[in-house]
Amino acid sequence: MLTHEEPLPRRPFRVAVAGVSGTGKTTLASRIAVVIGAPLFEIDALYHGPNWVPRESFLDDVRSMVAQDLWTTEWQYKAARPLMTERADMVVWLDLPFWTTTLPRLVRRTLHRRLKREVLWNGNLEPPLRTFFTDPDHIVRWAISTRFQYRTKIQALETASPHVTVVRLRSQQQVEQWLAGPLRCALDGSAR
């Protein structure tokens, strides 16, 4: 597993960003897409149909995405992860401090989306705020209950998929340093 300072072994073409809900996976995947010149496939948009119903074509859409030579996305959804891992050459693990960084971001994002009635994937809206108390799968409650799972998932990924370069970023400062340093250097041909 590489840190934010270590050079990348090669130029990345297919990148998935891992991390707990609200940590900034989509934002970072979007920034990586710009840097490497790859399309961004927002995995939630592939998964969620109208009324939050999972789309029947989800896994077919993921297969179509990963068959491409260039892509960035978020490394999530149990059924999709193996498909992405098989073709990915890099997984970037956003392992930011949960209570001081990720949870406040997630709460702000959830409130903003709900209060502004921001339209999300396929016409969906963030559910009413009261669902925090009534829905055990509410995004904030989900993030709290799953915040430690990526440690195990990333360890398993490294063991089962040695072809995938894993980069662990532990702060927003490390994110910025990695984007400007090792990622840019890998594109300039100065990767080792």
Amino acid at 24: G
DSSP state of 122: G
DSSP 69: S
Determine the angle formed by the axes of helices 103-115 and 139-146, rounding to 10 degrees: 170
Using an 8 Å Cβ cutoff, are 103 and 144 in contact? Answer: yes
Q: What's this model's pTM, rounded to 2 decimal places? A: 0.93
* Cross-strand bridge partners of residue 77: none
Topology of domain 14-98+151-187, CATH: Rossmann fold (3.40.50)
pLDDT in tens, 156-170: 999 999 999 999 999
Q: What would the pLDDT profile of 119-169 be if each residue is shown by its tens digit?
A: 999 999 999 888 988 998 899 999 999 999 999 999 999 999 999 999 999
What average pLDDT does range 14-21 have in this prediction? 97
If 0-12 CB within 10 Å is exposed, 13-18 middle and 19+ buried, where does residue 4 land?
A: buried
CA neighbor of 73 nearest in space, from 43, 34, 38? 43
Measured distance CA(22)–CA(170) in Å, rounded: 14
Encode pLDDT of 58-107 as tens digits.
999 999 999 999 999 999 999 999 999 999 999 999 999 999 999 999 99
Each domain of the chain, given as residue ranges in start order, spans 14-98+151-187
Give the pLDDT of residue 192: 46
Task: Report the pLDDT value the prediction gives residue 190, as an integer from 0 to 100.
Answer: 53
Upper half-sphere CA count for residue 153 (Cβ side, 13 Å) = 22
Counting runs of H as helices and runs of E as strands, what totals does the chain give?
10, 4
Closest among 102, 63, 108, 103 to 86, alpha carbons compared: 63
Report the candidate in 19, 20, 68 with the shortest Cα–Cα distance to residue 40.
68
Structure tokens at 10: 């090669």
Question: 36-48 pLDDT, tens per residue?
Answer: 999 999 999 999 9
